[in-house]
Chain A
Amino acid sequence: MKKILLILIISLPFLAQLAVLPFVNRIEPVILGLPFLHFWLFLWIVLTPLCTFGIYHLQKSKGGLH
């Protein structure tokens, strides 16, 4: 279960910042003063560290870090 979660969190930043780009490549809606494409990229600047943080904790709880 944890392994599936791990793989999911690892692939998320790649999917969000590369694979889905053709679908977020648009101006509307403008959110927080940013056109949608830029808002999306901005969002992942913040979410990617959270993914890393999650992985760090999953690995630590498994005792996989030494």
Chain B
Amino acid sequence: MQGNLTALSITIFVILTVVLIGFLAGRDKSVRSSVEEWSVGGRRFGGLLVWFLVGADLYTAYTFLGLTSTAYSAGSLAFFAIPYSVLAFFISYFFLPKLWKVANHHKLTTLADYARERFDSKLLSALIAIVGVLMLIPYICLQLSGIQDTLQVAGTGFINVKVVVITSFLLVALYTFFSGIKGPTYTAIIKDVLVWAIMLFMVVSLPIIHFGGWNPMVDQIVKEAPQLLTIPNSGPKGIPWFITASLVSSLALFMWAHAATGIFTAKSGDALRKNAMFLPLYNIVLILVVFLGFIAFLVLPKGTDPRFALLSLIQTSYGGVAQGLAYSTIALASLIPCSIMAIGASNLFANNIYRDLINPQVKASRLTMITRGMVFVVIGLALLFGLVFPSALVSLQLLGVSGMVQIFPAIVISLFWKNQTREATIIGLLAGLAVTFTVYATGTSFGIYEGFWGIAANFLTVLVLNPFFVKRAQASSTPVKDYLFNQPAEEAHPERRGA
């Protein structure tokens, strides 16, 4: 496989430009003056900026490469991503504004912070942080393999792919350290615009190039590969899997540290409500992109590695310039989310593992420095695992969503259920994780998504155990609990304190 020099030059040029913008975003020293400024931009972002940020966050290189590769090898199962993300934004409408309000009022920057204050439990906060970091590092590795595959297709014969991957990730770590959330926010706009433009371009042009248009393409899939167009009714991954995977993933989406970072940047709860309305529209491109996996199935020689379905399709279909733009889009879709994920993981580590467990007396300025420095550790670990032990991560990647969803009761249910107790929540979380891992390890999921069994066990445990601890929970209170449940409606705070 030989790369294309024009395509490679364009890709590298775009990556360097974006890195430069990432650095420029941090010109003003105030962006790194505190954890709140560095990680959530002082909560000043309006609806549009949050839309770009959350969009940039969630629609990653892995989304495009992974979904087309699933479509290529497993047909319409890949479309589970559509109801999943549409429902995730719909569900978010009901709890994100409330969560944002509490976080804003009590100056919280992570979900684990919230759980600590809500339940007065450093154990719970550390548990949530550990789950968050443990699941996020493999996810960063996935982004890494996205850019690695892209550079491999674009640059074989011209560059040492590993050296370029490591360099670009270190540059991203450096600008994240320097500019905080401002870095990925401004570059997210470039990335999102490129994603929309390039994906639309591909969705329109690829069917024309290979079939003479969209409708002839669909006709040909119906004729030659109808099995791709429906979901199997049974089997290890059939309709029940599709439904439970969509549902569980939609509950899990905003439990990810990087998604939480994105929403805490908002300046008001209303910005988040509007976001919940407009974010599903992002999927209009996504659903069409999945069809590119079907094109790959019909066009590429049999036996192509599914992992390279989209990239090989780009390579065989376009000249150097279009290839270059497509590759740069995928490269950006891998680098920018990485930056936001690194912020989320660093924040969890510094605030909820280091401060809550190890050194509660740490000074604010030192904590800010530790949070920022953790970016190098997180990205370094991801590089190490991604490049040295790629196979060790596969299980964690597959279990990421099922693991993350287990904090849903601690974060979301607790916003609405006054008498939810610390003890039941912690045991539920542990039970959920244990069941998920057991089902995964023994392979006994009965055609249902693993995380579904986990979250069912989690909810059940909380419900059964809660009455045993409820007396003490009723007697004690925390400022966050008071704020959530004991505040007369007419005294409701304005959305921003002091505004």
Contacts and interface: CB of A to CB of B under 8 A. Distances in A.
Given A18-B246, A22-B239, A27 B230 contact: yes
Contacts of B83: 17-18, 41, 44
Contacts of A13: 86-87, 90
A25 B243 CA distance: 12
Interface string B258-290: 000000000000100100111011011001000
Interface residues of B, number: 36
A52 B96 CA distance: 14
B163 interface: no
B246 A44 contact: no
B448 to A, nearest CB: 13
B229 A35 contact: yes
Interface in B203-245: 214-215, 218, 222, 226, 229-231, 233, 239, 242-243
A16 B364 CA distance: 49
Contacts of A19: 243
A55 to B, nearest CB: 7
A30 B239 contact: no
A19 B89 CA distance: 18
Interface size on A, as a range, is 20 to 34
Given A13-B90, A49-B278, A37 B231 contact: yes
Contacts of B215: 33
Interface string A33-59: 111011001101110110111011000
A3 to B, nearest CB: 15
A18 B243 contact: yes
A5 interface: no
Contacts of B281: 45-46, 49
A56 B273 CA distance: 8
B247 interface: yes
A19 B87 CA distance: 13
A25 B239 contact: yes
B287 A42 contact: yes
Nearest to A12: B90
Contact of B277 (A17, A45, A56): A56
Contacts of A25: 230-231, 233, 239
A53 B243 CA distance: 25
Contacts of A21: 231, 239, 242-243
A37 B233 CA distance: 13
B204 to A, nearest CB: 12
Contact of B280 (A18, A35, A45, A55): A45
Interface of B: 76, 79, 82-83, 86-87, 89-90, 93, 214-215, 218, 222, 226, 229-231, 233, 239, 242-243, 246-247, 270, 273, 276-278, 280-281, 283-284, 287, 291, 489, 492
Interface of A: 13-14, 17-19, 21-22, 25-27, 30, 33-35, 37-38, 41-42, 44-46, 48-49, 51-53, 55-56, 65-66
